[in-house]
Amino acid sequence: MRVVSGIQPTGNLHLGNYLGAIRNWVRMQDEMESGSQCLFFLADLHAISMPHDPAELNKGTLEMAAALVACGIDPAKSVVFNQAQVPQHAELQWLLGGTARMGWLNRMTQWKDKAGKNREGQSVALFTYP
């Protein structure tokens, strides 16, 4: 089995992050059977779907990596990586973009919630965010 999950490095880690995801990641990592793998990524490419200061995003990425380790994610047991350092992420987005239909994307709850009433003013990256 392979588990892949990520977290955006935009803002401080909070209780909701810990209880909703990170605590479960640590449990999965610690209970993984031989041959299984956990991959956790810092979703900095996803983060730029909204405006962020590049220096702050870089700082947040480093701080989030440290926070994950402090919460129990063990780099000796799991793969922890920065999304922007894996060009295949952008390539996969391009390939999926060729098959996704506008109607599907328009119905995504996340798009509706984040775009709010100003859909015309939002980025394509936010629209195609998975």
Task: Say if residue 71 is in the same domain as residue 25.
Answer: yes
d(CA 14, CA 114): 20
Task: Say if residue 122 is in the same domain as residue 80.
Answer: no
Which pLDDT band, with edges at 50, 70 and 90, does 43 fall under?
A: very high
Task: Say if residue 109 is in the same domain as residue 80.
Answer: no
d(CA 38, CA 79): 6
| Helix intervals (H) in 32-122 | 44-47, 54-70, 87-97, 102-106, 109-115
55 three-state secondary structure:
helix
Which pLDDT band, with edges at 50, 70 and 90, does 129 fall under?
A: low
Which pLDDT band, with edges at 50, 70 and 90, does 130 fall under?
A: low
Neighbours of 103 (CB within 10 A): 7
Task: Say if residue 90 is in the same domain as residue 80.
Answer: no
Task: Say if residue 105 is in the same domain as residue 122.
Answer: yes
Task: Say if residue 127 is in the same domain as residue 80.
Answer: no
115 three-state secondary structure:
helix
Residue 91 lies in domain = 86-130
Task: Say if residue 43 is in the same domain as residue 3.
Answer: yes
Task: Say if residue 94 is in the same domain as residue 80.
Answer: no
Task: Say if residue 75 is in the same domain as residue 103.
Answer: no
* pLDDT tens by residue, 67-120: 999 999 999 999 999 999 999 988 988 898 888 887 887 787 777 777 777 777
Task: Say if residue 79 is in the same domain as residue 90.
Answer: no
Count of domains observed in the chain: 2
Element (H, E) at 53: none
d(CA 14, CA 90): 28
Q: What is the pLDDT of residue 125?
A: 73
How far CA 101 is from CA of 60, 65, 112, 124, in Å, comes to 33, 34, 16, 14
